[in-house]
Amino acid sequence: MFQRFSTNTLSLLLLIGVALLFIELFFFNSGLVFTLIFFSFLIFIGRKQYESTFGKILFGFGCIVLFFTVLNMFAFRFLAIALVILFFIHYQKSKEEPEYLSPQFGDENINALPEPIVKVEPLFQNKFFGNQQTSESPYQWRDINIHGGVGDRVIDLSNTVLPEDAVISIRHIVGNIKIYVPYEVEVHVHHSSLLGRATIFHKRHTKLFNESISYYTEGYGVNTPRVKIVTSVVSGDIEVKRI
C-alpha cells in the first residue's frame, strides 16, 4: 500500500504523530504519563511472573488498559485518520495510474545479469513482546542484529561454531540480556543502559544510570574466534559469562 509514497512522507507523518504525543502528554493531559508508566510496569512485572496466575492477570490487565488508553489518545487518532487518508489517496492513484505488469525475458548477455546474492535467515527476529533464546541443540551461526520491546534475550554460543569474527547487536527497551560464551572465544562488550545492572565475566556494575561500559578480553585483537557484543537497553540487566 505504501510503496507509492516516499519515505520522507511517511517519516514526516511519524514525526508529526510523535510531536502530537509529547504535546498531549506534557501540556494537555499530563496524567497520561503516569498511566502509561504504571500500566507498562504492570505488564513488565506480569511478564516476569507469567508462569503464575497472578502474573497472567497483571499482564492481561495491563495490556487491556494500556490498549484502550492509547486508543483514546489524540496522537493515535491523528495517525489513524492519516492512514485512512493515505489509503484513499493510494486507491485513487491506483485508479488513475494502474500498474501494468509485463513478462521479463532473459538477457542473452551474461554480463548484464545481476550479481548473485544469497538470503540468510536471521537467528532472531525483531519482537516487541516475549522472550527469545538460541536453540538448545547445535545450530549454524549467523550474526545477530535486532531490536526489541519487552522480554528477555538469551544467547548461548556454546552450541554453534563461530567464524573468526562474529557480531551481536541488540537494542532493547525492557528486559534482561544473557550471553554465554565458550572459554576459547575472545570477547569485546560495549553496553549502554538507562537503568540496570551489568555483569561482564568477573566485573560487576550493580547500578547503571544512563551509562555506557566497555570491556574486551586481552587477546581480542590478535586471537580468533572473537565476538563483538553491542547492546543497549532502557531498563534491564546484561550478563556475559563463560560456559
Q: Is residue 193 a contact partner of residue 176, using CB atoms and an 8 Å limit?
A: no
Domain presence at residue 138: yes
Residue 4 pLDDT: 53
Domain presence at residue 195: yes
Domain presence at residue 47: yes
Domain presence at residue 140: yes
39 is written with which cell numbers?
500500566
Residue 109 pLDDT: 53
- Better-predicted residue by pLDDT, 12 or 137: 137
Instruction: Answer whether residue 77 shows pLDDT above 90.
Output: no
Tell whether 84 and 42 lie within a shared domain: yes
Tell whether 132 and 66 lie within a shared domain: no
Tell whether 233 and 155 lie within a shared domain: yes
Sign of CA pseudo-dihedral 198, 201, 202, 203: negative
Domain presence at residue 155: yes
d(CA 98, CA 100): 6
Domain presence at residue 105: no
Instruction: Answer whether residue 3 shows pLDDT above 70.
Output: no
Instruction: Answer whether residue 90 shows pLDDT above 90.
Output: no
Instruction: Answer whether residue 178 shows pLDDT above 90.
Output: yes
Residue 86 pLDDT: 73
Mean pLDDT of 167-173: 90
d(CA 43, CA 107): 56
d(CA 13, CA 19): 10
Instruction: Answer whether residue 188 shows pLDDT above 90.
Output: yes
| Secondary structure class of 170 (helix, strand, coil) | strand
Domain presence at residue 118: no
- Better-predicted residue by pLDDT, 123 or 227: 227
Q: Is residue 185 a contact partner of residue 240, using CB atoms and an 8 Å limit?
A: no
Query: Phi, psi at residue 62, to the nearest 5°?
Result: -60, -40
Question: Distance between terminal CA atoms of the chain?
Answer: 48
Tell whether 131 and 91 lie within a shared domain: no
Residue 136 pLDDT: 83
Tell whether 20 and 72 lie within a shared domain: yes
Residue 113 pLDDT: 61
Domain that holds residue 185: 127-242
What are the tens digits of pLDDT across the range 201-236? 998 988 888 889 999 999 998 998 999 999 998 888
Domain presence at residue 212: yes
Instruction: Answer whether residue 91 shows pLDDT above 90.
Output: no
Residue 209 neighbours by CB distance under 10 Å:
8
Tell whether 131 and 238 lie within a shared domain: yes
86 is written with which cell numbers?
493515505
Domain end call among 73, 96, 119 = 96
Instruction: Answer whether residue 44 shows pLDDT above 90.
Output: no
Tell whether 159 and 71 lie within a shared domain: no
Instruction: Answer whether residue 63 shows pLDDT above 80.
Output: yes
Residue 185 pLDDT: 92
Beta-carbon contacts of residue 40 (< 8 Å; ≥ 6 apart) = 62, 66, 174
Percent with pLDDT over 70 in the chain: 84
- Is the bond leading into 103 cis (omega within 30 degrees of zero)? no
d(CA 49, CA 118): 41
- Report DSSP state, residue 111: G
Tell whether 79 and 165 lie within a shared domain: no
Q: How many domains does the chain have?
A: 2
Domain end call among 46, 80, 96 = 96
Q: What pTM value is reported for the model? A: 0.60
Tell whether 71 and 171 lie within a shared domain: no
Residue 38 pLDDT: 82
- Better-predicted residue by pLDDT, 147 or 24: 147
Tell whether 86 and 158 lie within a shared domain: no
| Single-letter residue type at 33 | V
Residue 191 pLDDT: 93
Tell whether 131 and 186 lie within a shared domain: yes
- Band of residue 103 on the pLDDT scale cut at 50, 70, 90: low
Tell whether 142 and 203 lie within a shared domain: yes
- Band of residue 84 on the pLDDT scale cut at 50, 70, 90: confident
